[in-house]
Structure 1
Amino acid sequence: MNDELMDEVTRGARALVVYPQMRGPRGQMADLDVDARLEEAKGLALAIGLEVVEAMAIVIREPRAATLFGEGQIQNISVACTLHEAELIIVDGSLTAIQQRNLEEKLKRKVIDRTGLILEIFGERAATAEGRLQVELAHLDYQAGRLVRSWTHLERQRGGFGFLGGPGETQIEADRRLIRDRMAKIRRELEQVRRTRGLHRDRREKAPWPIVALVGYTNAGKSTLFNRLTGAEVMAEDLLFATLDPTMRAVRLPGLEKAILSDTVGFISDLPTQLVAAFRATLEEVTAADVIVHVRDMANPDTEAQKRQVLDILADLGVMEPKIDERALRRKEQDDRVIGWGRDDEEEEGPAPLIPIIEVWNKWDLLAPEQIEALREAMSHRDGETIIPVSALTGEGCDDMLAVVSRTLTLGSKVYSFVIPAADGQRLAFLHARGEVVAEEDAGEGEEGPLLRIQARLSERELGRFTSL
């Protein structure tokens, strides 16, 4: 683990999770399922091997600038730590450097916030050189504002240089300068990675295979579905952020020779801003997709809130037009909780996808019969949306999903006629792989030898790619 945050805590340490539940400006509670939020926080802690001994929500009416919590609430946290012998306190929210330091002084235990916890997970899981660079950049960005936590030695001054009078550079200024220099170096290296990724994407767009990207909330079952469809052995465990680095494999689709399936990092609510920026290069893979498969965990009671988080991030990436009616979505979530799984009689206008999106309602095998019945009823009211129920674990519905993906890729296609030299293997392979060849016949001789007249059904996007070859 990161030494700065967890210098006295090891895997297996006993942790107390505290979720600060904020009241709105008019006294209303935040529109979140508290139990689901606590379960998610516990899952984040378990993902780095911590033992969660207790999880509690504390209502914050007026956040304290110095400690976030009030004195009585801090005392309650201290009692809970003593009762459960907790060595570490995880605050499932954002803490300033001062709040973190003051809480540690009052509680006599290590304290980390949600951002620090997620950074620890990413630090453990990043497998590629690019992933490690992104994690280091995010860590440095997070630590740059928290050097105050190192207390006294950072206030010492170094002597002045040459004939310049006055105080020298303080240790904290020197440390910040070193961090800035290192961050600048990492950003240059990541920019090179982005350029390389861009070249790879350009090459893939000219390749005769469509790209299907799996996206979804963390632990929704993307990697399990990826393994089921491709026969790969990507890490797929019941852990948050089991996948951090994008993985691509070929998959066969009905009516198409093959497609490239991409497994991406899971999204999460309140993702640290440092990670949103640092992992943009990884998430940019989604923007090159021909079809996006949004995998949802339908066994999670907070699945509608998770969907909103995913759509928000897709909008940030430029995949969706930012037309989300937040108020309507919150009202819909409340209705869903009241009646179990929701009804969509008055569906509000949501974000408009710029890339076709298929919703996969996963973990069907974990649902009770009455939940399945309610979900099927909800599906019948989702006009204009493509929804497929599946179980990535058992394989139920996976063939239907592949058939729908194939139809989506060929939707709106038309038959075009081309005359191509018989020796032009690249363009011939493209038409056979990315389109449906309706007819093929000799077209005489040309300057480059024998010609073929081919009639093929292509979508507008594939026609654009073909003409660029």
Structure 2
Amino acid sequence: MKEDRMQIDLEDCILVGVEDLSHHRLSNQEKDVMNFDHKYTLQESLTEMRELITTAGLRISGEITQRLNDPNPRTYIGTGKVQDITKMCQELKCCTVVFDAELSPRQLKYLENSFNGKPIDDVYNQDAIKVVDRTALILDIFAQHAKTREGQLQVELALQTYRAPRLTKLWSHLERQGGGTVGLRGPGEKQIEVDKRLMRDKITSLKRQIDLVQSQRELHRKGRRSLGLPVVALVGYTNAGKSTLLNTLTSAGVMAEDVLFATLDPTTRKVKLPGLKTHPEVMLTDTVGFIQNLPTHLIASFRATLEEVETADVLVHVIDASNPIWRKQVNAVEGVLEDMGCGGKGVVRVYNKIDLLEDQEGIMNEAAMQDCSVAISCQDRLGLSDFVNSLEKKLSELMEDITCLIPYSKSKEVNLIHEVGNVEFVEYEAECTRIKAKVPRAVSMRLEEFKV
């Protein structure tokens, strides 16, 4: 299958946004159920979309917006707006139209045909007007930032999953009946059927490769667990400052740019934080940023990366306090965490970038009213000691009381307890060491056979 049609390789584009007015028909109770107060407004969503477009390497030459009660099933926008965009593309010489929405295969096909004034097939044509929806744009950014094999496999799986229902659009010009067993086609098999089969095989192969990488990552996780150190995962909205915080606390050298999705591949470092008493050392993991309205199938494609969040002992939710809509970003992150089954994990909230605020006192008071919440500036290294204290409080909740009889032949286990735990007493008996201590949950599980 030719995949050039999906490439986002042109600089200039037109951004299209639609304000959904359907909520006006909802009752207040229905709005509460939908958590409507946390929905992005048109301008808020477009502001984020402009950042995505810039990160993808495109330049916005024009914008068109429309208010609709319901999206048009064929064109998403109204037919009059389709004509306006066609004219704008001609005047501005733009060959890419980006929609702040996830379009159906039918809508993509109809819009491209309308903008070009003729049916468009999948053969790459530099002069043809391409339509890119929000999901495709995010996938392009992911593809640019995936550096490891695991990340690249996950991006490829997400891309193939996105393309699968759009094969009808891509191969519409090949809708003809095959007459035999020539090449890849079976008896009477259409080209579209061949391509669907090939894509299914490709997706199956990618899932197998990701499963293999996941197994290797699980071995790494078990190795880290054997150290008896708690795992702390940095989570948050994209560009909230997670990688910057990791770099501030360590010398990991993780990419920390002022762009969306700068980090796609998780990075884990063993960190010794001054001030931590319960756990002087922790395993600190940076993870991919979240974003509002991320399609479920896209999240599923990155399950290997998100497992780092699922298996963490404590989550550090990094929030860009300088963003005017940080509350909505928090809601988006917490929604994804809830869907992942991580709602019950211990969380430290970190309000970052307070150096960019005129009213620092306001956000500091906000943090003070919440349990295990701090206001910091990684840039100016403000509030880091408060962060360590809050992390210490959450980590202390992971400690368990144990009493063990450990044979002298297993002295490394005694050494581990001294390294990561709080020892209350030690007695040396004839054949073993009796030790009572508070240790991390992971160490407690490791010492199960020695407990009395």
Query: Normalization by structure 1: what TM-score?
Result: 0.83
Kept in 1: contact 2:363–2:375 (CA 8 A): no
CA-CA distance at 1:266 after TM superposition: 0.6
In structure 1, C-alpha distance between the alignment counterparts of 2:192 and 2:87, rounded to whole Å: 35
Deviates more, 1:236-245 or 1:206-215: 206-215
Matched, 1:5 2:6: yes
In structure 1, C-alpha distance between the alignment counterparts of 2:302 and 2:171, rounded to whole Å: 31
Aligned to 1:184: 204
Percent identical:
38
> Any residues of structure 2 matched to 1:358-377 within 5 Å, and which?
358-369=348-359, 372-377=360-365
> Any residues of structure 2 matched to 1:151-300 within 5 Å, and which?
151-161=171-181, 168-253=188-273, 254-255=276-277, 256-300=279-323
CA-CA distance at 1:81 after TM superposition: 3.6
1:467 to 437, 448, 452: 448
Partner secondary structure for residue 71 of structure 2: coil
In structure 2, C-alpha distance between the alignment counterparts of 1:287 and 1:388, rounded to whole Å: 23
Kept in 2: contact 1:363–1:392 (CA 8 A): yes
CA-CA distance at 1:141 after TM superposition: 1.2
Change (3 A) 1:76 1:261: same
CA-CA distance at 1:160 after TM superposition: 3.0
CA-CA distance at 1:216 after TM superposition: 0.5
Q: Could you give the per-residue CA deviations for residues 133-165 of structure 1, whole angstroms, max 9, x where no partner exists?
A: 111111111111112223543212221349xxx
CA-CA distance at 1:465 after TM superposition: 3.9
In structure 2, C-alpha distance between the alignment counterparts of 1:179 and 1:439, rounded to whole Å: 62
Kept in 2: contact 1:214–1:292 (CA 8 A): yes
How many residues align? The count is 420
Aligned to 2:44: 36
Q: Could you give the per-residue CA deviations for residues 184-214 of structure 1, whole angstroms, max 9, x where no partner exists?
A: 1111222222333333333333322111100
- Partner amino acid, structure 2, of 1:18: V
Deviates more, 1:217-226 or 1:303-312: 303-312
In structure 2, C-alpha distance between the alignment counterparts of 1:160 and 1:420, rounded to whole Å: 73
Aligned to 2:378: 392
Kept in 2: contact 1:284–1:317 (CA 8 A): no
Partner secondary structure for residue 289 of structure 1: coil
CA-CA distance at 1:379 after TM superposition: 3.2
Partner secondary structure for residue 66 of structure 1: coil
2:168 to 138, 148, 151: 148
Matched, 1:445 2:430: yes
In structure 2, C-alpha distance between the alignment counterparts of 1:301 and 1:465, rounded to whole Å: 46
In structure 2, C-alpha distance between the alignment counterparts of 1:435 and 1:88, rounded to whole Å: 58
CA-CA distance at 1:40 after TM superposition: 1.1
CA-CA distance at 1:39 after TM superposition: 1.7
Q: Could you give the per-residue CA deviations for residues 265-312 of structure 1, whole angstroms, max 9, x where no partner exists?
A: 111111133321110111011121111100111111121111111111
- Partner amino acid, structure 2, of 1:62: D
In structure 1, C-alpha distance between the alignment counterparts of 2:448 and 2:387, rounded to whole Å: 30
Partner secondary structure for residue 26 of structure 1: helix
Aligned to 1:454: 435
Matched, 1:22 2:20: yes
In structure 2, C-alpha distance between the alignment counterparts of 1:42 and 1:35, rounded to whole Å: 10
- Partner amino acid, structure 2, of 1:319: C
> Any residues of structure 2 matched to 1:48-63 within 5 Å, and which?
48-63=56-71
Matched, 1:401 2:400: no
Change (3 A) 1:56 1:422: farther
CA-CA distance at 1:232 after TM superposition: 1.4
Kept in 2: contact 1:214–1:222 (CA 8 A): yes
- Partner amino acid, structure 2, of 1:78: T
Aligned to 1:421: 407
Q: CA RMSD in A?
A: 2.4
Kept in 1: contact 2:167–2:192 (CA 8 A): yes
Aligned to 1:138: 158
Unmatched runs of 5 consecutive residues or more in structure 2: 117-128
CA-CA distance at 1:460 after TM superposition: 5.3
